[in-house]
Amino acid sequence: MQSNRPSAAPDYLTYPKRFTAYKWYKPLLVTLLAGVIYFGFSLVLMIFCYVLAANQGIDFQQLAASGYDNLDAYSVLGALLSLGSIAIAIPALMLGNRIINYRSFSSYSSTRGGFNYAIFFKCFAASLITVVLPIVVISLITTQERGAVRFSTLGFIFCTVLVPLQCCAEEYVFRGHLMQMFGSWIKFPVIPIILQTVFFAAAHPYNVTGVISVGIMGLVLGICAFITKGLESSCALHIANNMTAFYLSGFGIGGVKTNVEITDLISVVIFIGLYLAFIIFADKKLGWFNKIKKDDAAEFNAKKAARAAQK
């Protein structure tokens, strides 16, 4: 008797090893090439923004100042520098992977046949309920005096477009590339998840409480990607969280700060914990992450074999 139950998607952490061209060192080569390409893209972006700033009489050094207290994601130039400089990691990783060409780029997205937008939007709706809504309500209640609106009209548009790209870039780099790289080397899933968490937290210049907060976020994002065997749920939470922070700050309700308070840490633990609980429920009870659109590895391997046969 044939079962109608869909076959389980392959494990996300070890997925690179399903590609016949995989060798243990190839993810490292992708890392190196993507890093060099990213540096080149960053240099071009910096020069472009410097020229624009000079033409508009804007102090570029102040605009490019590091640290979240000086962060400007509310003007066109500020958004390009603070958000666009991270978003360009996506094409850098794509090109690095394309040059090494040992796996399809869609295999970073999931083991279910690429990025599934239906799953993403369902997870995004869940993040709005479990994370965004309570944070906005608490912010509105606790903010005694609102600041000035920091957005320019174009700045708001650029922020709205670039924040999702910035978040997805971090997901592809940390939860996609790094976590799968470590997962292809290390047998125990908990270690790759923790390693990517450490790198993710170290990449954010907060105070100790802030680094812990980011570390918890990175851990939850890694667990979400592991459970759902893809990046849709982690991208959804990351985008919802960052959009909320930038919108609240841009409209004068709170701000993005280097020094994160303990109350903010507690909020992160509670609300993203609720989101993680829902993702586990959606996986176990609703079967959101069972459907496999295609087998990326089998398709890629077949094309590789066909090319080799023609030579």
Per-residue pLDDT tens over the stretch 210-245 = 999 999 999 999 999 999 999 999 999 999 999 999
299 part of a folded domain: no
Residue 1, helix vs strand vs coil: coil
Residue 10 falls inside a structural domain: no
- The pLDDT value recorded for residue 7 is 57
CA distance 259 to 19: 44
Residue 59 CB neighbours (<10 A): 10
Q: Which residues, at least 6 apart from 212, have a Cβ–Cβ distance to it below 8 Å?
A: 201, 265
Instruction: Report pLDDT for 4.
Output: 40
Into how many domains does the chain fold?
Answer: 1
pLDDT at 3: 38
pLDDT of residue 59: 82
For residue range 90-118, what is the model confidence (pLDDT) as tens digits?
999 999 999 999 999 999 999 999 999 99
258 close to 207: Cβ distance less than 8 angstroms: yes
Classify residue 301: in a domain, yes or no.
Answer: no
CA dihedral 95, 98, 102, 107 (to 10 degrees): 70
For residue 297, tell me if it sits in a domain.
no
Please report the pLDDT score of residue 275 as a whole number: 98
Domain annotation covers residue 125: yes
**Confidence (pLDDT) at 262:** 92
The residue segments making up the domain with residue 255 are 15-289
**Residues of the chain whose pLDDT is less than 50?**
1-6
Decide if 307 is inside a domain: no
* Residues whose CB is less than 8 angstroms from the CB of residue 36 and which lie 6 or more positions away in sequence, other chains included: none
Q: Is residue 172 assigned to a domain?
A: yes
Alpha-carbon distances of 220 from 118, 262, 269, rounded to whole Å: 21, 18, 10
